[in-house]
Structure 1
Amino acid sequence: MTSELLRKARDVAAAAKVSGALVPLKTSLTTLIGEAGTNFELRHLLSATPKHLRAAGPKPNPFLPWDQRLEVERINDSHVVILNKYPVQASHMLLITQDWQPQTGWLSVDDWHALGRIDATTTGLWFFNSGPDAGASQPHRHLQLLPRAAGEPICARQSWFESHAAGTTSLVDDPLLRSCRVVPLTSALKGEMLYRMYLTLAADLGLGDPSNDHRPRGAYNLLLSRRWMAMVRRRTEGIRGFSVNALGFAGSLLSTEASDREWIHRSGPEALLHAVVEANC
């Protein structure tokens, strides 16, 4: 069943594409085989590189105000759901704060309440990039959602997250686990529960706590489904021309003309992930 929010997102997308507010990116798709036979998606950007992917100086905030042509739904007076202006996948939505909140700050319980309200009807893969070193392209607070239909895989590396959440992995010495925590979820995504779990994962990874730290002590990514939550502490944004955000850990990588694609084919996709996490892999 398609939710009302997702139907509205598709209607908004159709109109926004006609008006030029929505600019889908064209990519080519290659499958990379990772460890234990895991498939990674490597999408190569064919469209002109959008402004948010260019290395440059200060950029205007596209969310303050947000483009009304991309607005899908407002969540109380605190948040709004808009479409990603430059999507690679259809119906890619952003949950942004209506007022200024920094991407590098702590997520608030209000952020988690807004996420839970949306996920109650429209679910999929949620992700968050905590700042530039975690692959965030904008400084204004935004969580992201890639909707998924019932029975559709959440992401390419779904089995990796599920096995680690359940404690059934056969990978005894997985380097990523030195910088990643995965925990199972067994109930609906509720704001208070998610907020407490978020703080627990942050503390476990040495990122601190909002009661003592003005902002997290390092960069990180969050990934979330109805079955698990994962947090990855980051060391750097990318290497060899690859920029890695949370989707990289989900198994979706993006390359541009600046990316060393020969290296990733030779070294394997996990080598890229190992290189950008906090631990010395």
Structure 2
Amino acid sequence: MDESFILSEFDKLVNSGTVIYSDKEEIIEHLDGDLKFQFLLTSALAKKPTIQLNPPATNGIDELDQKREGSDISTHGFEIGEISTSHFLVANKFCWARPHLMLVTSDGYQRQYEGLDLNDIKSLWSLLSTLDTDYVAFYNCGQDGGCSRLHKHLQLIPTPPNLFASFLDSKDGEPPRVRFEWFYCRLNPHDKTPERLLEIYNHLLEQSTKKGKGLSENFGTALPNAACPHNFILTKRWMMVLPRQRAAINKEAGVNAIGMLGYIAVATQKEIDNWIRLGLTDSLRELGVAKQAA
């Protein structure tokens, strides 16, 4: 599946009104200490539901029509095509990028609080490595990782410039002084197989779990196969995993994986003002797992 086809299908969905996207976006930068944050202000998010601070338990899945068995994501009308026997590609309903995609498991019973497996990595890498443009893929694992749906899915967008992790794009880049734990790996040519990528992910997740264990829960307690709440971010050049403690400070201040890298999509100036009032650097420290003073 090539990028020109994906963009064509995405544009059709936007033009039909099925997908909400606005190309009249504005980037607003804000410096907080040593860190430069970017707010993406877009009207496309105006009708998106806010983050639920107390989401329903796992048995609270909606039983609406046109959802795959076991799924709480309605993909009917949004589907772009199959990537593999285990995953298919859909457009996100409320988009803050062109395109904003979801890679969803064909098995509707796979859960967003589970860690990634080889099928996830295989399907993701087969897509990511064939795209002409530089894309970033991310996974919000668990309630505290910033997910809002139970059906297991990853997301992809064209890579925004000047993320906190952009130092990884160069061999000698120096990391910014973030105040939360993150673990990363620059990818060498021999790393770029699904099996090797899974090994790297599991190693980074193990490091994250040691830091994040016991700080939060995934959709309640005693869930089978539940992983430490975390964010996973992958480009063609690097991988990052960071443990999460909370999804949001309040209903207007929550972030996914990309938000933890300083790129926060919002619908209104009021949300930006709320973030600044709360303190951006301190908020990310609270949403992630705080680094201990040396």
**Is this a same-fold pair by TM over 0.5?**
yes
Question: Do residues 127 (structure 1) and 138 (structure 2) align?
Answer: yes
Q: What CA distance in whole angstroms lies between the structure 1 residues aligned with 2:291 and 2:174?
A: 25
Partner of residue 203, structure 1: 206
How far has the Cα of 1:199 moved from its partner? 0.8
Q: What CA distance in whole angstroms lies between the structure 2 residues aligned with 1:258 and 1:180?
A: 29
How far has the Cα of 1:106 moved from its partner? 1.9
Q: What CA distance in whole angstroms lies between the structure 1 residues aligned with 2:95 and 2:174?
A: 35
Partner of residue 227, structure 1: 237
Match 1:114 to one of 123, 127, 130: 123
How far has the Cα of 1:107 moved from its partner? 1.0
Q: What CA distance in whole angstroms lies between the structure 2 residues aligned with 1:170 and 1:109?
A: 31
Question: Do residues 14 (structure 1) and 11 (structure 2) align?
Answer: yes
Give the aligned residue type for 1:198. Answer: Y
Task: Assess if the C-alpha contact under 8 Å between 2:52 and 2:148 holds in 1.
Answer: no
Q: What CA distance in whole angstroms lies between the structure 2 residues aligned with 1:67 and 1:261?
A: 31
Task: Assess if the C-alpha contact under 8 Å between 1:112 and 1:190 holds in 2.
Answer: no
How far has the Cα of 1:83 moved from its partner? 1.1
Instruction: For residues 35-70 of structure 1, give each alpha carbon's deviation from its aligned partner in whole angstroms, at most 9, with x where no partner exists.
Output: 43x532213454533247566755638862753532
What TM-score, normalized to structure 2? 0.76
Give the aligned residue type for 1:201. Answer: L
Partner of residue 33, structure 1: 31
Q: What CA distance in whole angstroms lies between the structure 1 residues aligned with 2:284 and 2:90?
A: 29
Gaps of 5+ in 1: none
- Give 3-state SS (helix, strand or coil) of 1:17's partner: helix
How far has the Cα of 1:221 moved from its partner? 0.4
How far has the Cα of 1:185 moved from its partner? 0.7
- Give the alignment of 1:21-170 within 5 angstroms: 21-24=18-21, 28-36=26-34, 38-44=35-41, 46=43, 48-51=46-49, 53=51, 58=60, 60=62, 64=68, 66-100=74-108, 101-122=110-131, 123-148=134-159, 155-162=162-169, 168-169=174-175
Q: What CA distance in whole angstroms lies between the structure 2 residues aligned with 1:44 and 1:145?
A: 19
Partner of residue 191, structure 1: 194
- Give 3-state SS (helix, strand or coil) of 1:275's partner: helix
- Give 3-state SS (helix, strand or coil) of 2:121's partner: helix
How far has the Cα of 1:167 moved from its partner? 7.6
How far has the Cα of 1:215 moved from its partner? 2.8
What TM-score, normalized to structure 1? 0.80
Give the aligned residue type for 1:120. Answer: S
Q: What CA distance in whole angstroms lies between the structure 1 residues aligned with 2:46 and 2:267?
A: 10
Question: Do residues 265 (structure 1) and 264 (structure 2) align?
Answer: no
In structure 2, the CA distance between the partners of 1:217 and 1:279, relative to structure 1 (3 Å rule), is farther
Q: What CA distance in whole angstroms lies between the structure 2 residues aligned with 1:27 and 1:280?
A: 33
How far has the Cα of 1:258 moved from its partner? 10
Q: What CA distance in whole angstroms lies between the structure 2 residues aligned with 1:217 and 1:76?
A: 24
In structure 2, the CA distance between the partners of 1:63 and 1:92, relative to structure 1 (3 Å rule), is farther
Give the aligned residue type for 2:245. Answer: R
Task: Assess if the C-alpha contact under 8 Å between 2:243 and 2:289 holds in 1.
Answer: yes
Instruction: For residues 81-123 of structure 1, give each alpha carbon's deviation from its aligned partner in whole angstroms, at most 9, with x where no partner exists.
Output: 1111110111111111111210101211111011111122114
How far has the Cα of 1:161 moved from its partner? 4.3
Between the aligned residues of both structures, percent identity stands at 22
Report which stretch shifted further, 83-92 or 154-163.
154-163
Partner of residue 244, structure 1: 255
Task: Assess if the C-alpha contact under 8 Å between 2:248 and 2:287 holds in 1.
Answer: yes
Task: Assess if the C-alpha contact under 8 Å between 2:179 and 2:281 holds in 1.
Answer: no
- Give the alignment of 1:168-187 within 5 angstroms: 168-169=174-175, 171=177, 174-176=178-180, 179-187=181-189
In structure 2, the CA distance between the partners of 1:112 and 1:162, relative to structure 1 (3 Å rule), is same
In structure 2, the CA distance between the partners of 1:18 and 1:111, relative to structure 1 (3 Å rule), is same
In structure 2, the CA distance between the partners of 1:249 and 1:104, relative to structure 1 (3 Å rule), is same
